[in-house]
Amino acid sequence: MNGPIPINIAVEDALTESLLFKLLNTLPNLYAPRTIYNRGGNGYLRRNVNGFNLAARGTPFLIGTDLDRYECPPRLIEDWLLQPKHHNLLLRVAVRQAEAWVLADKENFAAFLGIRPSMIREDVESIQDAKRELIQLAARSRRRVLREDICPPLHSTRRVGPNYNARLAAFIQQLWDPNAARQRAASLSRTIDRLLAFRPTWLRAGGT
Amino acid sequence: MTIKKLILRNWRNFQTVEVELEQRVFVAGPNASGKSNLLDVFAFLRDIAKAGGGLQKAVSERGGLSKLRCLAARRYPDVEVEVHVADNGTTWSYAIGIKQETRGYRLPLLAYERVMKGDETILTRPNDEDKADPLRLSQTHLEQINANAKFRDLVRFFESISYLHLVPQLLRHPEAFSGPGVPGDPFGKSFLEKVARTPEATRRSRLGRIEAALRIAVPQLKELKHTKDEAGIPHLEAVYEHWRPHGARQREDQFSDGTLRLLGLLWSLLEGDSLLLLEEPELSLNAGIVRKLPGLMYRLQRQKRRQIIISTHSPDLLSDPGIGGEEVLLLTPSNEGTHVALASSLSDVRDLLEGGLTIAEAALPKTVPPSVGQLDLFE
């Protein structure tokens, strides 16, 4: 197979979608993203992962999810998949949340928020609730517009601010550097290595 | 009668289309991919066949042939439409090609017109008479009673195709939108007059069934009926229950958008037995109600054996597990016009369906424009 590998993406939230999309775009001419399956939530992904596993025989699938409460990625994969994982299914798990991959590029993210880089922890993968950590950092931003976009208002029921996804998507598209971030996030580093090494097997001639 | 197959060339967004159609068809695609234009093919055939219609009128109502022709059309400029219609074991096919007069009034002219019944050719034009008098090619035989006797059934079928895209504001305030109105009244401006023209017994039975269905969506609504005011203008009226023992009588100008749209939708499902074209029936309706629509349509169409073609953006509508991939047409725009495919013809959609995804989950993501992430950068 010559040329970029066509690949479908399935994710549980907009942030993971932005991250994976950026990753695929930074790898030189390796992948051609096709359809993005994102109907929101971990439950959606988990319910449909076996369908994606089946469809991967036609077009490779890259799935991005958060580790959350599982102790390690292999446990999650074992728990989710009923059938053996197809070679073309790339199930990548962010430890513990996709927000950790954002924080891992601490120089750029600190510059984006207007805070000191030293305020961001080094060991991003051991943060239990990376989303909360990210929001608390944003709350200390010197730029009011970022605080209002990313942080939920006091006494609100929502966990994130009204423009959380779009703000972070813009950061990821424009400033986030996966090569800097992989130094602090081993799960991201493994994902990049896997994407570089992956060659699909084609069951049907020409795929889809 | 049921349209089994649709073949298009250079029609609006579509350079070439060849798809099989089921009894119920859902058309899904991104914005401006041509969902309404695909539905419009059937309305176009109706406009040719109906009394007072004809090819010239149907084309000029659509802004002339240059607006009908696909922008991607190049060396082969003719617009072609072909449908295969099944009727109790007989298969009809009707095909026309339309080109533009090269000089003079630049009228749309028939490149050809063909009617087949089974393997038998009923009509094929241009014939000798057309060659002797080329102006004859500005009219189809579909629109001429003295020429279409051999395929009158097909003409009747085309004539009775109906299209609905009810706009509640038009129904509520028809006086604010003066002018001649749109032929066939697809937007419901004279919906109340249509209800008024229906024979009393039929009207009462339909309104009764509609009320029963409406009550599921709007539990406070009851006693839906048709009335006339002092000036003789028709209205729909219902009792809206509240804390007072007798409730309050309300007329259609007080009904909600959702109530009106559901009312129009149910009315048109109950009316007639020919092909019904529905434009985004999910609009203004609660997601829970939208999820029930495919089943409701199926039950109502089963009694009449009528075909329904529905354009939609709604994941709720398509989450019904009773919808098959062979019932969903996916539209994908490209520089060479919009591509149309049955969801079941795509191997990855089939695999996803087999893996337990609903048609909404398996097929709708394919209709999201690839650059949608750019919207996040929009300020």
Q: Within an 8 Å CB–CB cutoff, is residue B371 touching chain A? A: no
pLDDT (0 to 100) of residue A203: 58
pLDDT (0 to 100) of residue A1: 53
Q: Write the single-letter amino acid at A86.
A: H
Q: Write the single-letter amino acid at B239.
A: V
Contacts of A39 in chain B (CB under 8 A): 315, 361, 365
Interval B249-294: pLDDT, tens? 888 888 888 889 899 899 988 888 889 999 999 998 888 889 989 9
Sign of CA dihedral B211, B216, B221, B223: positive
ipTM surpasses 0.85? no
What are the structure tokens assigned to B337, written together?
């016009």
pLDDT (0 to 100) of residue A204: 52
Hey, are the CB atoms on A58 and B368 less than 8 Å from each other? no
Please check the confidence at residue A205 and state whether its pLDDT lies above 70.
no
What are the structure tokens assigned to B355, written together?
């893996």
Average pLDDT over residues A59-73: 91
CB pairs under 8 A between A and B: 69
Residue B242 vs residue A170, higher pLDDT: A170
* CA closest to B332 among chain A residues: A35
Q: Within an 8 Å CB–CB cutoff, is residue B318 touching chain A? A: no
pTM equals 0.88
pLDDT (0 to 100) of residue B105: 86
pLDDT (0 to 100) of residue B307: 93
C-beta of residue A133 within 8 angstroms of C-beta of residue A127: yes
Mean pLDDT taken over chain A:
90
Hey, are the CB atoms on B356 and A51 less than 8 Å from each other? yes
Query: Residue A207 — very low, low, confident or very high, per pLDDT cuts 50/70/90?
Result: very low
Which residue among A39, A48, A174 places its CB closest to the CB of B315? Answer: A39
* CA closest to A167 among chain B residues: B376
Which residue among A35, A50, A59 places its CB closest to the CB of B356? Answer: A50
Lowest mean pLDDT across A44-58, A109-123, B235-249: B235-249
* Residue whose token pair is 């009207």: B203
With a cut of 70, list the residues of chain B below it in pLDDT. 371-372
* CA closest to A169 among chain B residues: B376
* Phi and psi angles of residue A152, each rounded to the nearest 5 degrees, phi first: -70, 145
| Spatial separation of the C-alpha atoms in residues B324 and B343, rounded to whole Å | 9
Q: Within an 8 Å CB–CB cutoff, is residue B362 touching chain A? A: yes
Strand partners, B113: B96, B125
pLDDT (0 to 100) of residue A43: 86
Contacts of B348 in chain A (CB under 8 A): 8, 35, 55, 58-59, 208
Contacts of A165 in chain B (CB under 8 A): 376
Please check the confidence at residue A206 and state whether its pLDDT lies above 50.
no
pLDDT (0 to 100) of residue B218: 85
